[in-house]
Structure 1
Amino acid sequence: MTPDIAIIDSGINPGHPHVGPITGGHGYETDPKTGQVAQTGDFMDKIGHGTAIAGIIKEKVLDAGLYAVKIFNRDLGTSVPVLTQALAWCVRRKFDIIHLSLGVENKDSAGPLKQLCDTAREKGILIIASARGPEHRIYPACFSNVVGAYRHPDCAWDDLVFHAESPVAFGAHGFPRPIPGLPQEKNVQGHSFAAAHVTAHAAALMKLYPDHPLETIIRQLQNNSHSAPAG
């Protein structure tokens, strides 16, 4: 099984050497006159964030099918209606994994997102989303049916840390793939990229355990992790 992965982010540049061909993409934007969310054909990445996410996944699963769902344009900001519409489309499309390097902290926005995440789990879709720490109440990363991930400072490239009792279960490496000529410590870094490392691990496990339920993939993620100390 080759995992089919939607990356909801700033788009993807397929011409980047860390990425290569993708299965497709589209974008969403809000009409400034009407306030309505519209789908566009634009999935090209103008800021490099989604491309870096894609590069992490491709490093571990070269043949993963990546689909770009662009909701960021010139910066990493968007609206809840745009996010909700993008996520709803991905759930209807039934990707194997939906990757979200973002979230919202407003509880009023949690309800529609929770409904979409419930539907995704019922369809066998794994949603992976970023947070700032194991106890961070950000949606959808802290939902029980979503795999939350944050940057753990002690995790190397292939390391995972598992927090059994926390709403955000996994810590991971917080850097994208190295850029030639740039020291890695000066590269971009953060929780977004930690989530991408977890997505890459999950995609590799889906290849290893084809046709297994999500519970098997999540259990193997846990088995492949270091246990976080209690307290």
Structure 2
Amino acid sequence: MPPSRSTIGIVDSGVAPALRRQLAAETRVLLREDGSVGRSAAMDDAIGHGSEIARIILGLAPAAALVSAQAFTDSRTVDAGVVAEGIAWCLEQGARIINLSLGLRSDKAALFRACERARASGALLVAAFPARGAAVYPAAYPGVLAVSGDARCAAGNWSVIAAGRLIGAATSAADGATQGGASYAAARLSGLAARFFSAWPHADAQDCLAWLESDAAFRGRERRPQMRAA
């Protein structure tokens, strides 16, 4: 199915029952005992992470249709093959934007190939990239929009931390008060990207990236004041 201008894929922990009316489709992707990856009926979101990601996106893009690929349920340990299958499923549902508020420490071929196929289809991949520590995947892959938290940013703006590579955004939850991290920042960028495609329906992923570069509220890394000993 070709990418839809109004469909956002979420690869995460699923969604709460109260959010199901906002979903165009959902599935669970799981690792079988024999090591293969399969799909089954989605379960309720047991940890709340995916539900909050959905709320943040809908807060910025309330008209968006969401498709949810449940890639983990009772923990945040994520398998690369499961994430890759989740991306593939989102593409099958016509997702124009795929939010990946997760990160794996190891580069896996299956995940890289899934991201390359998504990019080739014209989808925009938005992935969390923690501000500190080693690189994580898929955010570290070329062409994936990597997003970190930036305390300078309000809910509706963003920063260009590293041109062409890293964007910063607010880390607040949908309620505007609770703070998260790069996961919430990625969701905010997905919602902002959905707004862009709604305003410019014939634009492509590169146009969206150019818009983010040109309209950023801040540039460069956030500089925090250094504490000095008395």
**Over the residues paired in the alignment, what is the CA RMSD in angstroms?**
2.3
What is the 5 A alignment of 1:1-231? 2-16=5-19, 20-32=21-33, 34-107=34-107, 109=108, 111-133=109-131, 137-165=135-163, 167=165, 169-178=166-175, 184=177, 187=178, 189-229=180-220
Aligned structure 1 segments of 4 or more residues deviating by more than 6 angstroms: none
TM-score, normalised via structure 2 length: 0.86
Decide whether the 8 Å contact of 2:6 with 2:194 is kept in 1.
yes
* Alignment: residue pair count: 219
Matched to 2:209, the amino acid is I
Percent identity reads 25
Counterparts in 2 of 1:96 and 1:202: CA distance versus 1, 3 Å: same
TM-score, normalised via structure 1 length: 0.85
Residues in 1 aligned to 2:76 and 2:95: alpha-carbon distance in whole angstroms: 23
- Quote how far apart the aligned CAs of 1:2 are: 5.0
- Quote how far apart the aligned CAs of 1:14 are: 4.6
Decide whether the 8 Å contact of 1:2 with 1:65 is kept in 2.
no
Q: Secondary structure at the match of 1:47?
A: coil
Residues in 2 aligned to 1:211 and 1:173: alpha-carbon distance in whole angstroms: 27
Deviates more, 1:141-150 or 1:194-203: 141-150
Alignment deviations for residues 134-187 of structure 1 (CA, whole Å, 9 cap, x no partner): 8952211122211110111222211201024473x11111121118xxxx2xx3
Deviates more, 1:114-123 or 1:62-71: 114-123
Counterparts in 2 of 1:76 and 1:67: CA distance versus 1, 3 Å: same
Counterparts in 2 of 1:106 and 1:80: CA distance versus 1, 3 Å: same
Counterparts in 2 of 1:166 and 1:122: CA distance versus 1, 3 Å: closer
- Quote how far apart the aligned CAs of 1:102 are: 0.9
Decide whether the 8 Å contact of 2:56 with 2:191 is kept in 1.
yes
- Match in the other structure for 2:226: none
Q: Secondary structure at the match of 2:23?
A: coil
Matched to 2:153, the amino acid is C
Deviates more, 1:114-123 or 1:96-105: 114-123
Decide whether the 8 Å contact of 1:153 with 1:174 is kept in 2.
yes
Alignment deviations for residues 31-79 of structure 1 (CA, whole Å, 9 cap, x no partner): 34x2332211114211111111111111111110001110110121121
Decide whether the 8 Å contact of 1:175 with 1:193 is kept in 2.
yes
Q: Secondary structure at the match of 1:23?
A: strand
Q: Secondary structure at the match of 1:99?
A: strand
Q: Secondary structure at the match of 1:196?
A: helix
Matched to 2:129, the amino acid is A
Structure 1 gaps of 5+ residues are: none
Q: Secondary structure at the match of 2:115?
A: helix
Matched to 2:196, the amino acid is L
Deviates more, 1:56-65 or 1:72-81: 72-81
Residues in 2 aligned to 1:35 and 1:171: alpha-carbon distance in whole angstroms: 36
Decide whether the 8 Å contact of 2:163 with 2:213 is kept in 1.
no
Deviates more, 1:47-56 or 1:85-94: 85-94
Decide whether the 8 Å contact of 2:151 with 2:170 is kept in 1.
yes
